[in-house]
Amino acid sequence: MNVLQENLARRQFLKMASASLTVFGAPLVNVANAAQAPARKKLVWVILRGGFDSLHTIVPTFDEHLVQHRPKLYKAVKDKLLPLDSGYGLHPALGHFHQLYQAKQLAPIVAVGSGYGARSHFDGQDYLESGNQQIDHDTGWLGRAVNEKQKQAVAIARSLPISMRSSAANTWYPSALKDAKEDIYQMLFKLYQHDDLLKSRLSEGLAVESKVGGMMQQKKKGNFVALAKSCASLLQGAEGVDCAMLEMGGWDTHNNEVARLNRQLGELDKGIASLQQGLGDEWQNTVVVIATEFGRTVRENGTGGTDHGTGGAMFLAGGAVKGGKVLGQWPGLAEQNLLQNRDLKPTSNSLTWVATALHQHWDLEISQLNNIFNHLRPYQTQVII
């Protein structure tokens, strides 16, 4: 058998294996009824690990104290910013974000904080993912939301993140190993024939492989843009999941921030564009929540960067988002308005914005939200169409 025949045989095997299965345990939608079925509301949770600098991303050009605190960082972008409302400017690397904003499909939210008050990345991320006003490694807000709404979910990660723990979510991540041949899978099916759980896990893995396998070139595995494209494939279509989680690291910019954030924000921008393109018409039913564990110091440091802070920013994006306006209350950058004389002061809670989006997008009742965030009530602001 030559290489082409071998690849075709493998694809046929994967296709047959996945076709005979229930993908992610979800009931398959009858094709004849698919046109009449209500649109499935998709949710994508993107966590930016490392604490991204909101003041270099959604820049408050109207605040006279900005240049005082950040003479070099502000100068690097001030003439290239993409205009938002109320005097804010978007980093020039976020061209697609700006298009979404103009299409009223992006809502930046300024001066947010999760409620975490210290400066450890790991603890801050655990706190944000737990969503329960404490660090809880066993259960996360998205996992609890998935359970409340009986949604199907997948994390694009090597292991299940805290956000999705306590749910039956799957994980997928591109492997660095060579693909196995179909006879290996057939032998595994025989081996597992009397074990329903192992057989089910193998089936689910093959179903995922049939949707996203072979999409990535080896050198691009792990790239956020490629992961976002694969994420869209797992969400798209009648057999796609309802919810997915993406992660992107590299936001801890203590030095050389101008160049590093230009690269990071550019990749994030392309990743969201890739996600939208992959979702096609389903983008209209999708909300993407993008947040980070904390912000950075208001003042730039001596190495061209910023240090761990408190207040930051987040984004809501997607065809289902009521965007085109910067949300959140600006606290000001005058010395007396800074938190602990160094940080942007949060004026709203990032997890409450998440609860607000869940409440409006997935129609979660207050009683259900109580089971997800035991200390939060959604804001009255309309963030979903």
Residue-level pLDDT at 28: 38
Report the alpha-carbon distance of residue 331 to residue 328 in Å, rounded: 9
Q: Which residue stretches of the chain have pLDDT < 70?
A: 1-38, 176-191, 199-221
Provide the pLDDT for residue 182. Answer: 60
Tokens of 321: 């988002």
Which pairs from 9-15 meet CB under 8 Å and 24+ separation? 9/182, 10/179, 10/181, 10/182, 13/182, 13/185, 13/186, 14/182, 14/206, 14/209, 14/210, 14/213, 15/210
b/e sequence 232-249, b meaning 16+ C-beta within 10 Å: bbbbbeebbbbbbbbbbe
pLDDT of residue 27: 37
3-state secondary structure 30-75: CHHHHCCCCCCCEEEEEEECCCCCHHHCEEECCCCCHHHHCHHHHH
What per-residue confidence (pLDDT) applies to 213?
A: 59
Gap between the Cα atoms of 308 and 338, Å rounded: 14
The pLDDT, as a whole number, for residue 108 is 98
Question: Which residues fall within 8 angstroms of residue 92, CB to CB, at 6 or more apart?
Answer: 77, 80, 81, 82
153 vs 166: CA distance, rounded Å? 12
Domain 39-174+220-372 has CATH 3.40.720.10: yes
Q: Please choose, from the candidates 374, 383, 301, the residue with its C-alpha nearest in 3D space to the C-alpha of residue 115.
A: 374
Query: Half-sphere exposure of residue 347, counting CA atoms within 13 Å on the CB side?
Result: 13
Q: Which pair of structure tokens corresponds to residue 369?
A: 């939200």
Phi (first) and psi of residue 210, to 5 degrees: -70, -25
In this predicted structure, what is the pLDDT of residue 2? 44
d(CA 188, CA 202): 8
b/e code 303-328 from CB counts within 10 Å (16+ = b) = ebbbbbbbbbbbbbbbbbbbbeebbb
What stretch of H or E contains 287? Answer: strand 286-292
Residue appearing with tokens 């959140």: 328
- What is the H or E stretch that residue 23 is in? none
Predicted pLDDT at 374: 83
Residue among 378, 379, 382, 360 nearest 43 (CA): 360
User: Residue 181: its pLDDT value, please?
Assistant: 57
Specify the DSSP class assigned to residue 312. Answer: E
